[in-house]
Every structure is written in C-alpha cells, then in structure tokens.
Structure 1
Amino acid sequence: MAEYVFSRLRELGFIEPAPDASARFELTRPVEALLRHLLREQHLSSAAVTQGYINDLELTSEQLEQAVQRRSRGVAIRVLDEIAAQMDRIRYDSRANRDSITTEVVRVRANAERRTPRERFEIVNRLWEHHLRPLRDLLDVDQAMERCLDRLTRLLVEGRTAFLSDGPLYQEFGRGQARLVRLRREVAEDLRECLAEVTPLYHGLQQDTLIVRGASEALRIARMDGVPALCLAQRFPLSTFRREGIVGDGKLQAYLHEVVHYEPPRPAPIPVGIPAPRPQPIDLATLRSALSDEPAPDDCLAWLIQRFPEATPTDILRAYGVFLERTFGRVEAAQDGENAYPMGKVTFHAIPMRLIPR
C-alpha cells in the first residue's frame, strides 16, 4: 500500500527528488504553495516582487492603449485577459503577505520558543524594514503603483467608450474596471491590517529592547566602576519631606464646619444657540430639475460645484457619481489631463467629464 501511494504521488507530481539527495523527496512548488495557503503559512514576498508585477502591468497597459487607439478587438480581448491575471496575482500576493504577517505576529506575541526581547524585536524589525515600509512607500498616493492604476483606470474608461457598440467587449472593459476597484480596495485593506498588527508590537518591543540595553549597560558600569559611577543621585533626584506650618485642630474644625454649611450658588444657565440649518442633499429630482433649465455641462464636476455652492464635498461627489452612472446620458472625457476643482478647504483632481444627453 505504501509503495502504491508513493508511486501515485510521484506520477501525479505531488513530490519530486530533492536536489541534494536521490533517496529523499520533497513537495513540488505548487503543492507546497497550496498547503501553505490552507495552513496560512505563506512565504512573504518583498516589495521588489510587487514592483515586478507593476512593471508587467505598465507594459500590458501600453498594449491596451495601442489596441484602443487602433480599435483592435482581438488584441484588446487578449490584453484584458492578461491584465485580469496580473491584477489577480497582485491581489493574491497581497492577501498571502497579510496572512503570513498576521501568523508571524501571533507567534511573536505568544513567544512559545521563549525568545529574548531582542530576538523578538529583530523578527518584527525585519518585517517592518524589509516588507511593510517598502510596500507602504510603493503604495503611496504619489508612487508607481498608484500612477499605474490611475492610467489603467483611464484606459478602461476610454476602452468602454471606443467599443461602445461591441456588447461583449464593452462588458469586458466593465469587468476590468470592477477588478481594478476590488484590487485597490483589498490591497489598501491588507496593508492597513498589517500596519495595525505590526506597528504596536514594533514600538513595544523597541521600547523593551532599549530598556534591556540600558539595564545591561548600567550593570556593566556598576560591575566595573561601582554603584557611585552611575550617579543615581543626580539622575534620579528623590523628593524630601519636611513638616512645616502645621494647622491646629481648632482651626481645622472651624474650617470643616464652614465647609459643611457651605451652599454653592446656582450656576449660570448655559446658552443654547440655534443650530445652523444643514443644507439639503442633492437628490435625483433636484439634479434633473437643474439640468432641465440649463444646457448639458461640458464639465460635470465644475458645474456641480458652481450650481450648488452650499453643498458639502460628500454631496458633490455623490451627485457626480450619478453622472458617471449614465443616469442622464453618456459621459466622456473632455480632455486628457486633469483639472483642479477647489471647494473650500478641499480640492478635487479629476479628468473633466462632458455630459452627452440622451
């Protein structure tokens, strides 16, 4: 039975001979990755791996841009499949890193191996310096990944516009947009969860390590030069106690008698101001009425800010989303570059979108 199981494992590709010995076998890489995924013991990948994914995504984005410009349907389908696979690889790798870091943090906190604070800090410091900090810098708003995803977002929007009459391909571009939104959300969530797990542990173990180092140095100085060399009296001055100005019992009783019969005055009433009325949200009927009185806007976001000056930024973005959902007609980019839209203390940056009514 054992020989049959062994032969079947080799035939099915579950195990292979080890490179350093002919009588020893090891799991193949796909099977090992599957078991690590099931046991949540994935290998950590560095920020350089993610940078490689981003470089591949930039190359396929260039191919997609050429396919959209040339209206090449076959090339666009193949490139969209490649982009979907690349986005899934980034997402799966991010989730594997999150599970691996969470597992490692649990082990460090449990400390079943009885490691010293310094050894535990070295483990957490490696997670911080070699994985989290480079990955956080890579995913920053102004860095490579965000620029790549912004460009891909623009290309998918242009692709849907270019292949509007091609139903299946139009839907593929829509699925690509949905995958991109999911990728942004899950990668940001994974990084946020990893930072929430590692940051408190990192600072706590760093403090413990500094305390242990300081205590070790103090013991070394005391052993070599004696306790007076530590200058404890100057470093830790202790307060002294001296009796001075003791109150007599009679005065103390009279004071307490006055305190017992003290009646505090009534506090002044707190004026209650009239709260400022909150501006009404921009609903669908309000937008429809405003559009019926004016021509279709060439810049939907600028029109909303000018038309509803009392609205909050949240209401403006919600109303802008109604335009992007094609509620009042098709929207298309009015220009290639972005514009700045100041609104009080907030400034939006977006590509101007023109409304083409039905």
Structure 2
Amino acid sequence: MIRRLPAAVLAGALMTGAAQAADLSYEVHDFADLDGWERDDHAAALDVFLNTCPDIGAPDWQSLCAVAQTIENPKTFFELFFRPVLIENGQKPLFTGYFEPELDGALERTERFRFPIYRQPAEARRAKRWLSRREIETGGVMEGRGLEIAWVDDPVELFFLQIQGSGRIRLPNGHHVRVGYGGSNGHDYRSIGVELIRRGIYKKHQVSAQVIKSWVRRNPEDGQELLRHNPSYVFFRRIDSVSPENGPLGAMNRSVTTGRSIAVDPAYTPLGAPVWLEKQGENPIRRLMVAQDTGSAIKGPQRADIFFGTGDAAGRAAGKLRDTGRMMVLLPIQRAYALLPETEQ
C-alpha cells in the first residue's frame, strides 16, 4: 500500500533548511513493493546498521538500536519496526560509486618514493585562501618542515588521492597506513576532465579517471601542467584510530562497509538509516544498505554514492557506475506514519 504525503506537510515535518524549498513528494510503501527484498542478505545489512546506530541520537532510533542487538531474525526486525519511504523532489535519480585509493609508498623518502603526502601547515590553516597547487609544488614552501606523512611513487595517483580525500598507503613491508582529509588551501576545485574536453583532446563521453591518468602519463610535461590547472590542494592527516584493514571512516566517524554503505544527502536521508536501493543499469543492485557517509556532490533525495571498497579494482568498478533507479529510506514505523495527514492514518 502506498500513502502519499503532500510536499508542504513533509517539508514542515521531516526536513529543514534548503530542503524545505524543494518540491517534495513522500510515499510510505510496504515491503512487498520492494523488488528483491525477499532475496537480500538481511543479516549482513543488520551488521552494518549496528555499526552506527548507537550514534543516532533520537530516542526512537536508540530504542530500535537496542532491540537490533538482541534480534534473532534480521528480516523480521526490519519489517516489524520500519516502513520504506520514497522521497522525491522531481530530480532524476542518480547512483554512482566511490572507493578508497591505495597507493604504494614509504615512510622515508627514497629514489622510488619521492612524492610527499603533506600535513597542513599552520599558516594554511589560518588563511581563508592560501597558495595555489602550482605555488605549493614549485615554490619550496613545504620543504624541510617535517610535514610529510609518507612518500608515494606516482604523482598522478597522489592527485587523485586528493580528489577522493582519503586513502591507504601500502608500505614495502606489507603494512598499511591510512590517511584522511586534513584541510585544503582554500582554492576552488577545477576539473581537469572538463579542461581536456575544452582543449578538444577528448569528447565528454570519453573522459574518465582512467583516461585522464593514461593521458597524463603519456604526456609527462603537459600532464603535470594539466594537473596544475586545478589550483585546489588537499592536505592529509594520519588515521591510526582505525585499523587499515577495515574500511575508511565515513561521515559518522565509523568504518564504511564495501557494498553496504552509501553516501547520501543528510537533508533528506538521516545518517545511520537503512536504505533500500534499486539500481538499474548493466549490473542491477537490489540491496539493503546503510546511509553512513556524505559527499559534496551528493545532493537530493534520490542521489547516493555506493562504497565499492579499497584499491584499483574497486576504483574501476566505482568509476563505471552512473545509473538510475530508486531508493527508499527505512524510517521507524511510528516516525513514518506520524508524518501522514490524520485522514490517512
């Protein structure tokens, strides 16, 4: 059964800020409406939900989190205490993927590992806008200050590590060091893919991360200049609080899980909430995931980024994903029905 809530009611009852201005529609669905629900691994989804549900502050979520820790049948748990909610604002649904890069590196500079991953210097932290990428890389301002976290062997991969904002460094002894976002120089990001299109080197449909990396490596001098077309520069911090063998930290400060964690727009989807995803495309996905991350490009109620894991294979899979479909937020049943007009309750 589908129950629709007028946009004005939804905006006042569920959303805040900019979301209130959107032309929202809201539908409460039954689990029978979910394509593939019966076939999913609900126990796997429950494990991921339990990883972050203690951090959801609302009393109803806390009660459900306590129940979830003693539940014997995960599928029954979700069906008893939640209802799937479809929230739309007229924008076309879009589902993409993200991953955690893994670079080869060392904790000391060597002939092979000579490209530094830097901590943010104090003057950059204080400034609203600091030196550009070109000035940082060519002006010598970072040298001799002990700001290096590690050195890597590939400046192209280092550039894309900055775009992702976090990653893992694989050391020569087989151990790993994880780094996370530690600040920026305050310059706006400029897309080097768009610049390649502007120069007539590639058509829009041809550009991907792999294509860009290949072109930069084939054209070392022009490639370095292309990377410096983006003046934004990201600094990092070493993350030792989480084992490098686990997933990277998401927006809830907990490790995200390959294939079960998604980044969402928290203006529409509460962080920590289960989300049923029906992704179309070449490799359809029908899976219960958990909203545990956010992203600057993730805007709207039908927009999500699926975490694909760590390393090159995950990066290739994530880079191919750009599909439509639909997603439904699983809200506590009382919260879902409390939003309905009295005549429909």
Q: Which has the larger radius of gyration?
A: 1
Q: TM-score, normalised by structure 2?
A: 0.20
Higher relative contact order (CA 8 A, sep 6+): 2
Greater per-residue helix proportion: 1
Q: TM-score, normalised by structure 1?
A: 0.19
